[in-house]
């Protein structure tokens, strides 16, 4: 198992390097000078030039890249052109809400989706129909619309949860943190819930139809034991894979929900930075997102391997 | 693990009487599919009963009904003197020590995410209540019984070939010393050499432990080679039953003959008879557009000897020599134009019935 | 809890979703932590939503920080502007001793939060810093006009100007008036982390979260505490970029006051529309009046034709729901001192007149031109283009986002949208509009008649004479027709009347002192 993880990591490291390079030069391609954007339309060319010099933007792109990469390797992604805040500080501050949202949503969809899929496959009939309906409905509703509905009902008409904003877990505690996240998590989860429930339903149906399950049933193994000790694990493999995919998808979906719920996350930060040509933050953000994707894939691979011995052998 | 005093020599290990199984089909107001239609059978301790028939004839359904995996519409199943007709799969803990199963698919019959050791320990813990260390000793014993190495314990099913997997499945079934094992196509997915190895293994195990087999397969020669008695099934009904050797050598029922005709033989004269029988069935099937009758003989649409009575009246189970045959030709009182032509029919000499 | 039936059954639905346990457990924490407004026992507090940008430095002379929203609580301006009048604040009086010299008399009882004293030296230090740093946000550009300063005594300073600027005292109530501690200004990065001013509040760094909220608490040593101009103990700015999110926050009681887009309705909130505030400004399109790119535009008749061809009234109604005021190519509304009926008569929608003017100029068949727009305003540009097409002028709209500045500076486009903040002073706003060095005026076109009228006006010491000259300048500027499809935008402020009453001024910024307790 350790060997397997190490092997995967060995593949991930060069991938990160490639992604870092691409993200740097991609951002360079965006037209417009950060200095001009910062100083605004009333700035004179002299002012713009001076600021570009002080930001180091007058150096050739390759020099800038080497500097940036050297810094990045030491965890220093430079400073925001606009706010002067270290980019890594800005990103880590913004990381918490985004991760909270994505992780909570993934846990919720995974848990609920597994239960729904299992119920649909095991009980069939009406339960199955109900699960299919709920799942399809969730996938059909655009998340911004659901967000608006949730805010209207659960924050405005019935003020159970705050309509917008974020509370830090560390400083404000679990209650406020969770209560600020309930609505965005629900809005974010609807789409993925259906996907995971359907995947789980298919996986359970497949596992339940296997002869080893029939053997267990026929030889008097209690249903619970069959389901939780034998079927769950095998059915989880495809579900975990899909969950990894939806997690990445979720990171994308987070951006719009952060806007609607005014969460100070990566999505909001990136949007603001793009609007103000704050390239250093955009570069760092792209790197963070790419790292997240690579990391999630790694976690999914390892999780699949630990669930399914066949993967490890290969 | 048998309950003492439940089996007397007079009562067989397994008795199935007038079994009907209907599958509910998906959809609204669909008529249920009758997979087993009035099957009777008995099986003695240490005996092997073969069930043979083409795909969809209901073989597996009988096994499943026995295992509590299929819904029994009517009839009764009695195992070791206990009526288990309506005992659901989940409540079968007490039956499990008597009744085990080996399924066909060597890839699906073992949980891919559990080691062989764990798979084998499962019935021991669940049924016999064995703890970890005694279980391990027993598992090693079982593995050697099915001729697998000791280190198989810690390996996953994917490390084994199909034949090895079936042996693991057999070991699992044998773990609790059952009285009856249902082998549903247990060797059908294996190559011929491996089939023979597994059959020999089963036979050795039977000799050592006195276990009985309900041996389900679609291949008549294999079934009759391995079984004491054979039951030929068509569309959920027993067409013919009797000693394996005679049914294989001289099938009586037109359907049994059709089954037999599908298997090549070395003898040239026999070949000619078989070819004629095959052609007759093909001709009859092509000529006949009517579906199988509700009342009457299910084989009528394909039978070269089908007469009007075959479409309207269900043939009675008629004793013939050492077996029982459900065909009007064998029943002198049936009114079939060729009734009484049984010996010719068995010899493959009876001409097709004129339409 | 008594709930309407539908709500109860809805909750049942939520419960089956498996979240009700969570919901019930969190509801209490949620409502207690989110309380923005309402009468707290500890004292009044107010939460104001703003779209940002968030200040990262606290130097009022820095281009990234110069927004009165975040400066108001911590810095005092020299002069206040309310009820349409300039009011004494840090400066107790002001007087032009001649058109080029302004004398300010200052308070002697004010200290900055770092202990340094506010006096004439402090004012000089601030203004000199602004001039040296090239502070150029809105009215700050006019500080470059200061030619020298004389500290007469601790409480008196004379400011000498190169050219007369009668609006300077007004500017001192806007961005040009914020006084920071001279010691902090003199220290490199002295205002990087925290503001050092003399204002009514202190930045609550513990409660402030970058990018999320900026929280201010009362300055216990505030020199003007007895004036009761700042009734709230705590002022929180909640940074909400998305208008819908801001509206939701307001509806659910997390926010007590906010700027909303025209046409937004928030239950329980009152709204007030004003020519002041952060949405106020002029929009429309500038055209290349030098004719360098598109020769046709060098002809005044053609430019006037474009103004006649656009139905500005309709454009405003569609784009801004009646909150925009159509103006005749100059940033002068009917409320302005520079407004005249002659100006009001110019450019009422008249396509026939437009065609006639085009024909006179030799463009009866129209001509081709380009128009730059930012992505958010593309529709607005297309609407203008559509109306111009009706008189035969073919406009191709080009959308530029990040490269907007470069595109304009390239000087290769014949027109572009503008969105320009206004200082609120007619003279300054006209001067900005017709500045030969204005941002979009790449080819440095000049409107000498306008600028000379403005110079005369600045010289005039008599206010009514000055206003008469402003009116002439406005008409002259309108006839130059450098801008087409012009609308003056207004700010719509919504507030929860149980928490606050907002009374915006008629021009300039809406200051924190315009937020008062409801009477
Ligand atoms: N779960 C089920 N639901 C509905 N119909 C079923 C089900 N299982 C089997 N059947 C139908 O019942 C009939 C008998 O099936 P069964 O599996 O017993 O046949 P079989 O003789 O074992 O065939 P094979 O050789 O293909 O395994 C077939 O027509 C089959 O389609
Ligand atoms: S009963 Fe009739 S149809 Fe059926 S097998 Fe016999 S002869 Fe053929
Ligand atoms: Mg079968």
Q: Residue range A93-116: average pLDDT?
A: 89
CATH class, domain C79-185, is: alpha beta
Q: Which chain C residues contact residue A158 at CB under 8 A?
A: 3, 7, 11
Task: Report whether B234 contacts B301 (CB < 8 A).
Answer: no
Output the pLDDT for position C39. 39
Q: Which candidate from A37, A175, A262 shows the least CB-CB separation from C249?
A: A262
- Residue B60 CA to ligand 1 center (angstroms) comes to 7
What's the mean pLDDT when you consider all of chain B? 83
Q: Residue range C304-324: average pLDDT?
A: 90
Q: Do A217 and B90 touch (CB under 8 A)?
A: yes
Instruction: Convert the pLDDT of each residue in B241-252 to its tens digit.
Output: 999 888 988 888
Share of chain C above pLDDT 70, in %: 90
The full length of chain B comes to 355
Q: Residue range C295-301: average pLDDT?
A: 93
Output the pLDDT for position B347. 78
Output the pLDDT for position C38. 39
Q: Which chain C residues contact residue A30 at CB under 8 A?
A: 402
Model confidence at B212, in pLDDT bands (50, 70, 90)?
A: very high
Q: Which candidate from A219, A223, A310 shows the least CB-CB separation from B112?
A: A310
Output the pLDDT for position A37. 65
Q: Is pLDDT of C152 > 90?
A: yes
**Ligand 2 lined by B303 (C-beta under 6 Å):** yes
Q: Is pLDDT of B345 > 50?
A: yes
Output the pLDDT for position A232. 85
Instruction: Give the C-alpha distances (Å, rounded to integers) separating C282 from C88, C485, C507.
Output: 29, 10, 13
Nearest residue CA, atom 28 of ligand 1?
B56
Q: Do B69 and A214 touch (CB under 8 A)?
A: yes
CB atoms within 10 A of CB B306: 25
- Distance from C-alpha of A290 to C-alpha of A40, rounded to nearest angstrom: 31
Taking each helix axis from N to C end, the angle separating A279-307 and A87-123, rounded to the nearest 10 degrees, works out to 30
CB atoms within 10 A of CB A201: 25
Q: DSSP labels for C73-116? A: TT--BSEEEETTEEEESSEEEEEEEETTEEEEEE-SS-B-TTSP
Model confidence at A229, in pLDDT bands (50, 70, 90)?
A: confident
Q: Is pLDDT of B5 > 50?
A: no
What's the mean pLDDT when you consider all of chain C? 86
**Ligand 1 lined by B334 (C-beta under 6 Å):** no
The larger pLDDT score, comparing residue C64 to residue C261, is at C261
Q: Do A310 and B95 touch (CB under 8 A)?
A: no
CATH superfamily, with its number, for domain C27-51+200-273+492-516 = Periplasmic binding protein-like II (3.40.190.10)
Hunting for tokens 């006084």 — which residue is that? C179
Of the candidates B140, A299, A83, A308, the residue with the CA atom closest to the CA atom of residue C57:
A83
**Residue A175 placed within a domain:** yes
Which range, of A94-98, C101-105, C138-142, C184-188, averages the lowest pLDDT? C138-142
The larger pLDDT score, comparing residue C95 to residue B128, is at C95
- Distance from C-alpha of B336 to C-alpha of B342, rounded to nearest angstrom: 11
Q: Is pLDDT of A99 > 80?
A: yes
Instruction: Convert the pLDDT of each residue in C173-221 to its tens digit.
Output: 999 999 999 999 998 878 877 899 999 999 998 888 777 789 999 999 9
Is A164 an 8 Å CB contact of chain C? Answer: yes
**Ligand 2 lined by B304 (C-beta under 6 Å):** no
Is A158 an 8 Å CB contact of chain C? Answer: yes
Q: Do B158 and A307 touch (CB under 8 A)?
A: no
Output the pLDDT for position C64. 63
Which range, of A100-109, A169-178, A217-226, B96-105, averages the lowest pLDDT? A217-226
Is C358 an 8 Å CB contact of chain A? Answer: no
Nearest residue CA, atom 19 of ligand 1?
B56
**Strand residues in A220-282 grouped as ranges (E):** none
Residue from B21, B60, B185 to probe ligand 1 pocket by mutation (most atoms less than 8 Å from CB): B60
Which range, of B131-135, B145-149, C317-321, C350-354, averages the lowest pLDDT? B131-135
Q: Is pLDDT of C478 > 90?
A: yes
Instruction: Convert the pLDDT of each residue in A138-196 to its tens digit.
Output: 888 888 888 888 888 888 888 888 888 888 888 888 888 888 899 999 988 888 888 88
Q: Residue range C37-55: average pLDDT?
A: 69
Q: Which chain C residues contact residue A179 at CB under 8 A?
A: 26-27, 29-30, 33-34
Q: Is pLDDT of C42 > 60?
A: no
Residue A253: domain span: 97-264
Q: Which CATH number fits domain C278-489: 3.40.1390.30, 3.10.450.50, 3.30.70.20, 3.10.105.10?
A: 3.10.105.10
Q: Residue range C23-30: average pLDDT?
A: 38
Instruction: Convert the pLDDT of each residue in A117-139 to its tens digit.
Output: 989 988 888 888 898 898 888 88
Which range, of A41-50, C332-341, C344-353, C449-458, averages the lowest pLDDT? A41-50
Q: Which of residues 220-259 of A touch C (CB under 8 A)?
A: 259
Nearest residue CA, atom 17 of ligand 1?
B60
Q: Residue range C452-458: average pLDDT?
A: 91
Q: Which of residues 280-309 of A touch B (CB under 8 A)?
A: 307-309
Is A221 an 8 Å CB contact of chain B? Answer: yes
Core vs surface per residue A147-170: b (16+ CB within 10 A) or e: beebbebbbbbbbbbbbbbbbbee
What's the mean pLDDT when you consider all of chain A? 82
Which range, of A222-231, B244-253, C10-19, C150-159, averages the lowest pLDDT? C10-19
The token pair at B351 is 């001409």
Q: Residue range C274-295: average pLDDT?
A: 91
Output the pLDDT for position C32. 36
Q: Which candidate from C141, C403, C440 shows the least CB-CB separation from A32?
A: C403
The token pair at A145 is 């619309």
Tell me the backbone φ, ψ of residue B163, rounded to 5 degrees: -65, -40
The larger pLDDT score, comparing residue A236 to residue C372, is at C372
Q: Residue range C438-442: average pLDDT?
A: 83
For residue B239, which atom of ligand 2 is closest to its CA?
5
Output the pLDDT for position C36. 39
- Distance from C-alpha of C182 to C-alpha of A208, rounded to nearest angstrom: 78
If you ran DSSP here, which 8-state letter would residue A79 be given? B
Task: Supply the pTM of this predicted model.
Answer: 0.72
The larger pLDDT score, comparing residue C19 to residue C396, is at C396
Max mean pLDDT range (B350-354, C460-464, C500-504)? C500-504
Q: How many domains does chain A have?
A: 1
Model confidence at A38, in pLDDT bands (50, 70, 90)?
A: low
Output the pLDDT for position B177. 85
Q: Is pLDDT of B176 > 90?
A: no
Residue from B328, B338, B350, B352 to probe ligand 2 pocket by mutation (most atoms less than 8 Å from CB): B328
Output the pLDDT for position C29. 39
Q: Which ligand is nearest to the CA of B326?
A: 2
Q: Is pLDDT of C468 > 90?
A: yes
The token pair at A70 is 């050297």
Q: Which CATH number fits domain B14-234: 3.40.50.300, 3.20.20.70, 3.40.50.10260, 3.30.360.10?
A: 3.40.50.300
Which range, of B342-351, C273-282, C420-429, averages the lowest pLDDT? B342-351
If you ran DSSP here, which 8-state letter would residue B81 be given? T
Q: Which ligand is nearest to the CA of B316?
A: 2
Q: Do A41 and C242 touch (CB under 8 A)?
A: no
Tell me the backbone φ, ψ of residue C363, rounded to 5 degrees: -120, 45
**Residue A313 placed within a domain:** no
Cβ-based neighbours of A113, under 8 Å, separated by 6 or more: A192, A193, A195, A196, A197, A199, A200, A239
Output the pLDDT for position B130. 63
**Residue A64 placed within a domain:** no
Model confidence at A87, in pLDDT bands (50, 70, 90)?
A: confident
Q: Do A159 and C31 touch (CB under 8 A)?
A: yes
Share of chain A above pLDDT 70, in %: 92
For residue B104, which atom of ligand 1 is closest to its CA?
27
Task: Report whether C436 contacts C430 (CB < 8 A).
Answer: no
Q: Is pLDDT of C114 > 70?
A: yes
**Strand residues in C345-472 grouped as ranges (E):** 368-373, 394-399, 415-420
The alpha carbon of residue C83 is apart from the nearest alpha carbon of chain A, in Å, by 31
Mutation to test the A interface, candidates B66, B122, B127, most A Cβ within 10 Å? B122
Radius of gyration, CA atoms only, chain C: 25
Is A276 an 8 Å CB contact of chain C? Answer: yes
Q: Is pLDDT of A39 > 70?
A: no
Whether the bond between C53 and the residue before it is cis, its omega within 30 degrees of 0, is yes
Query: Domain holding A173: CATH number?
Result: 1.10.3720.10
Q: Is pLDDT of A104 > 50?
A: yes
Q: Is pLDDT of C154 > 50?
A: yes
Neighbours of chain C (3+ CB pairs under 8 A): A
Task: Report whether C76 contacts C201 (CB < 8 A).
Answer: no
Q: Do C241 and A272 touch (CB under 8 A)?
A: yes
Q: Do A162 and C254 touch (CB under 8 A)?
A: yes
The alpha carbon of residue A112 is apart from the nearest alpha carbon of chain B, in Å, by 23
Is A79 an 8 Å CB contact of chain C? Answer: no
- Residue B52 CA to ligand 2 center (angstroms) comes to 18
Q: Residue range A271-279: average pLDDT?
A: 78
If you ran DSSP here, which 8-state letter would residue A160 be given? S
- Residue B234 CA to ligand 3 center (angstroms) comes to 13
Instruction: Convert the pLDDT of each residue in A279-290 to its tens digit.
Output: 888 888 888 888
- Where are the CATH 3.40.50.300 domain residues in chain B? 14-234
């Amino acid at each position: 198992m350790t060997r397997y993880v190490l092997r995967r990591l060995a593949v991930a490291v060069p991938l990160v390097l490639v992604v870092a390079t691409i993200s740097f030069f991609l951002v360079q391609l965006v037209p417009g000078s950060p200095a001009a954007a910062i100083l605004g339309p009333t700035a004179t060319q002299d002012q713009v030039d001076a600021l570009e010099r002080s930001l180091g933007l007058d150096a050739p792109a390759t020099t800038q890249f080497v500097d940036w990469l050297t810094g990045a390797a030491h965890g220093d992604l430079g400073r925001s052109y606009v706010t002067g805040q270290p980019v890594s500080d800005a990103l880590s501050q913004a990381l918490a809400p985004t991760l909270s949202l994505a992780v909570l949503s993934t846990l919720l969809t995974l848990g609920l989706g597994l239960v729904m899929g299992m119920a649909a496959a095991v009980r069939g009939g009406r339960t199955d129909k109900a699960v299919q309906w709920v799942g399809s409905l969730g996938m059909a509703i655009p998340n911004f619309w659901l967000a608006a509905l949730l805010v209207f009902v659960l924050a405005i008409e019935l003020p159970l949860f705050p309509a917008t904003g974020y509370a830090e877990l560390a400083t404000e505690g679990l209650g406020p943190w969770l209560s600020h996240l309930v609505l965005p998590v629900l809005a974010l989860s609807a789409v993925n819930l259906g996907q995971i429930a359907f995947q789980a339903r298919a996986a359970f149906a497949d596992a339940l139809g296997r002869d080893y399950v029939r053997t267990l049933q026929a030889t008097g193994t209690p249903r619970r034991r069959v389901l939780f000790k034998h079927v769950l694990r095998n059915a989880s493999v495809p579900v975990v894979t899909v969950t990894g995919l939806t997690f990445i998808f979720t990171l994308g979906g987070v951006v719009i929900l952060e806007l609607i719920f005014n969460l100070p996350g990566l999505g909001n930060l990136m949007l603001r930075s793009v609007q103000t040509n704050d390239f250093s933050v955009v570069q760092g953000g792209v790197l963070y997102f790419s790292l997240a994707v690579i990391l999630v894939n790694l976690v999914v691979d390892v999780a699949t391997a630990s669930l399914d011995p066949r993967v490890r052998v290969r | 693990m048998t309950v003492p005093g439940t089996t007397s020599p007079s009562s067989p290990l397994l008795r199935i009487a007038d079994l009907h199984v209907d599958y509910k089909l998906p959809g609204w107001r669909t008529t249920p599919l009758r997979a087993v239609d009035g099957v009777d059978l008995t099986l003695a301790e240490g005996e092997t009963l073969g069930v043979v028939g083409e795909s969809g004839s209901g073989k597996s359904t009988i096994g499943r009904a026995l295992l509590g995996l299929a819904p029994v519409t009517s009839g009764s199943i009695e195992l070791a003197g206990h009526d288990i007709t309506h005992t659901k799969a989940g409540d079968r803990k007490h039956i499990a020590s008597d009744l085990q199963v080996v399924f066909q698919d060597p890839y699906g019959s073992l949980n891919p995410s559990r080691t062989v050791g764990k798979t084998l320990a499962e019935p021991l813990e669940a049924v016999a209540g064995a703890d970890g260390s005694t279980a391990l000793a027993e598992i090693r014993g079982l593995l050697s019984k099915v001729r697998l190495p000791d280190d198989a314990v810690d390996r996953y099913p994917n490390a084994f070939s199909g034949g090895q997997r079936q042996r693991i499945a057999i070991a699992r079934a044998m773990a609790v010393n059952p009285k009856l094992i249902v082998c549903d196509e247990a060797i059908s997915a294996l190559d011929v050499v491996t089939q023979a190895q597994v059959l020999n293994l089963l036979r050795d195990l039977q000799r050592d432990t006195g276990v009985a087999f309900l041996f389900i397969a679609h291949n008549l020669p294999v079934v009759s080679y391995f079984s004491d008695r054979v039951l030929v099934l068509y569309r959920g009904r027993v067409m013919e039953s009797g000693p394996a050797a005679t049914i294989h050598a001289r099938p009586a029922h037109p359907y049994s003959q059709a089954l037999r005709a599908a298997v090549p033989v070395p003898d040239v004269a026999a070949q000619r008879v078989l070819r004629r029988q095959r052609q007759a069935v093909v001709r009859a099937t092509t000529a006949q557009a009517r579906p199988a009758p509700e009342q009457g003989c299910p084989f009528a649409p394909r039978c070269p000897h089908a007469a009007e009575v075959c479409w309207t009246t269900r043939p009675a189970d008629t004793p013939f020599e050492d077996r029982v045959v459900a065909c009007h030709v064998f029943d002198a009182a049936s009114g079939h134009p060729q009734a009484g032509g049984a010996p010719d029919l068995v010899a493959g000499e009876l001409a097709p019935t004129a339409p | 809890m008594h709930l309407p039936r539908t709500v109860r059954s809805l909750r049942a639905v939520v419960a089956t979703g498996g979240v009700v346990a969570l919901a019930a457990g969190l509801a209490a924490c949620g409502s207690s932590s989110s309380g923005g407004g309402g009468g707290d026992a500890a004292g009044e507090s107010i939460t104001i939503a703003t779209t940002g940008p968030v200040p990262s430095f606290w130097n009022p002379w820095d281009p990234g920080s110069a927004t009165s929203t975040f400066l108001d609580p911590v810095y005092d301006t020299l002069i206040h502007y309310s009820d349409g009048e300039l009011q004494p604040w840090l400066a107790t009086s002001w007087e032009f001793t001649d058109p080029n010299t302004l004398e300010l008399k200052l308070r002697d009882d004010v200290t900055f939060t770092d202990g340094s004293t506010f006096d004439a030296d402090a004012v000089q230090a601030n203004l000199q810093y602004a001039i040296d740093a090239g502070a150029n946000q809105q009215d700050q550009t006019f500080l470059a006009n200061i030619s020298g300063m004389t500290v007469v005594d601790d409480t008196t300073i004379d400011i000498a100007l190169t050219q007369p600027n009668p609006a300077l005292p007004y500017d001192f109530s806007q961005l040009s008036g914020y006084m920071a501690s001279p010691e902090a200004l003199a220290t490199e990065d002295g205002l990087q982390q925290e503001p050092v001013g003399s204002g009514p509040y202190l930045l609550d760094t513990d409660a402030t979260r970058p990018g999320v909220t900026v929280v201010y608490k009362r300055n216990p040593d505030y020199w003007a505490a007895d004036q009761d101009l700042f009734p709230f103990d705590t002022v929180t700015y909640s940074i909400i970029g998305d208008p819908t999110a801001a509206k939701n926050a307001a509806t659910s009681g997390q926010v007590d006051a906010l700027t909303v887009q025209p046409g937004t309705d928030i239950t329980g909130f009152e709204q007030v529309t004003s020519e002041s505030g952060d949405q106020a400004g002029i929009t429309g399109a500038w055209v290349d009046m030098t004719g360098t790119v598109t020769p046709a535009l060098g002809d005044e008749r053609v430019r006037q034709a474009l103004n006649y061809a656009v139905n500005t009234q309709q454009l405003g109604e569609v784009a801004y729901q009646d909150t925009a005021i159509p103006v005749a190519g100059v940033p002068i509304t009917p409320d302005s001192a520079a407004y005249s009926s002659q100006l009001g008569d110019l450019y009422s929608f008249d396509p026939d007149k437009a065609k006639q003017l085009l024909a006179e100029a030799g463009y009866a068949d129209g001509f081709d031109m380009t128009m730059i727009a930012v992505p958010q305003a593309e529709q607005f540009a297309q609407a203008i283009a559509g109306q111009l097409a009706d008189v035969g002028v073919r406009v191709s709209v080009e959308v530029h986002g990040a490269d907007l500045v470069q595109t304009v500076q390239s000087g290769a486009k014949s027109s572009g949208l503008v969105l320009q903040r206004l200082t609120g002073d007619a003279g300054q706003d006209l001067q900005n509009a017709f500045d030969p060095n204005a941002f979009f005026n790449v080819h440095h076109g000049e409107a000498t008649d306008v600028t000379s009228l403005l110079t005369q006006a600045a010289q005039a010491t008599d206010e009514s004479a000055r206003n008469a000259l402003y009116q002439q300048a406005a008409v002259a500027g309108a006839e130059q027709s450098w801008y087409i499809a012009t609308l003056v935008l207004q700010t719509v402020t919504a507030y929860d009347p149980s928490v606050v009453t907002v009374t915006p001024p008629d021009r300039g910024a809406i200051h924190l002192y315009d937020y008062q307790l409801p009477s």
